[in-house]
């Protein structure tokens, strides 16, 4: 292969690999990115996230894994999927779908309800004082449809 071809490929790929960082605003894409992960200032440990929770008969809440909450093995993509569904006004529908997946999984025999919630945490206090959220807004709450189980009507979401 000629030198000219070598230079052409080299300049093209290096240009492609470096320009996302120098665009205004910088562009995150694939395979070229400005690699923004973990780069933004985070001066406080306050954080919030949208997630799907399983609730047992005693009211204990368990975060549901990505495959159950969003049919996606990637943790972050599952969260984005929940955000998009809630933003599109589909929280109830999402809740029902998650409840179906909980019912069909042998992993959660004690889960009786599913909640789609937006929770706020102090990430450091979470480990030092306990995992209770600072605040939580429940967008949808629905029963897990188990065969032979008591028919529990979908409850109205409660906003705290």
DSSP secondary structure string for all residues of 4-21: HHHHHHHHHHHHHHHHHH
Q: Which of residues 10-39 bind other proteins (CB under 8 A)?
A: 10, 13-14, 17-18, 20-21, 26, 28-39
The verdict on 111 binding other proteins (CB under 8 A) reads no
Candidate residues 104, 110, 131, 149; the one interacting with other proteins per rule CB under 8 A: 131
Q: How many residues bind other proteins (CB under 8 A)?
A: 66
**Minimal distance in Å, beta carbon 137 to other proteins?**
14
In the set 99, 116, 121, 138, which binds other proteins (CB under 8 A)?
A: 121
Tell me the torsion sign for CA atoms 70, 71, 76, 81. negative
Is residue 92 within the footprint of other proteins (CB under 8 A)? no
* CA pair distance 113, 98, nearest whole angstrom: 10
Element (H, E) at 93: helix 91-103
Q: Cα 124 to the chain's mean position, in Å?
A: 20
Q: Is 135 in the site for other proteins (CB under 8 A)?
A: no
Please choose, out of 73-81, 98-106, 143-151, 152-160, the segment that lies near other proteins by the rule CB under 8 A: 73-81
Three-state SS at 105: coil
Closest among 22, 23, 21 to 33, alpha carbons compared: 21
Q: Is 3 in the site for other proteins (CB under 8 A)?
A: yes
For residue 79, give the 3-state DSSP assignment.
helix
Torsions phi, psi for 25 (to 5 deg): -80, 160
| CB of 29 vs other proteins, minimal distance in Å | 5
**Residues forming the site for other proteins (CB under 8 A):** 1, 3, 6-7, 9-10, 13-14, 17-18, 20-21, 26, 28-45, 47, 49, 51, 62-69, 71-81, 83-85, 88, 90, 119, 121, 123-124, 126-128, 131
């Amino acid at each position: 292969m000629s030198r000219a071809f070598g230079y052409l490929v080299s300049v093209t790929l290096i240009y492609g690999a470096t320009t996302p960082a120098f665009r205004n605003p910088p562009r995150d894409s694939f395979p070229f990115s400005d690699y923004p992960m973990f780069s933004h200032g985070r001066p406080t440990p306050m954080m919030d996230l949208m997630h799907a929770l399983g609730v047992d008969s005693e009211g204990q809440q368990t975060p549901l894994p990505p495959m159950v909450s969003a049919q996606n093995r990637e943790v972050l993509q599952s969260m984005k999927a929940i955000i998009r569904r809630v933003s599109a006004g589909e929280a109830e529908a999402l809740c029902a779908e998650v409840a179906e997946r909980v019912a069909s999984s042998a992993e959660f025999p004690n889960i009786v309800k599913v909640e789609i919630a937006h929770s706020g945490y102090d990430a450091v206090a979470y480990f030092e004082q306990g995992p209770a959220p600072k605040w939580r807004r429940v967008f949808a709450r629905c029963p897990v449809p188990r065969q032979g189980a008591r028919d529990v009507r979908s409850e109205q979401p409660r906003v705290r």
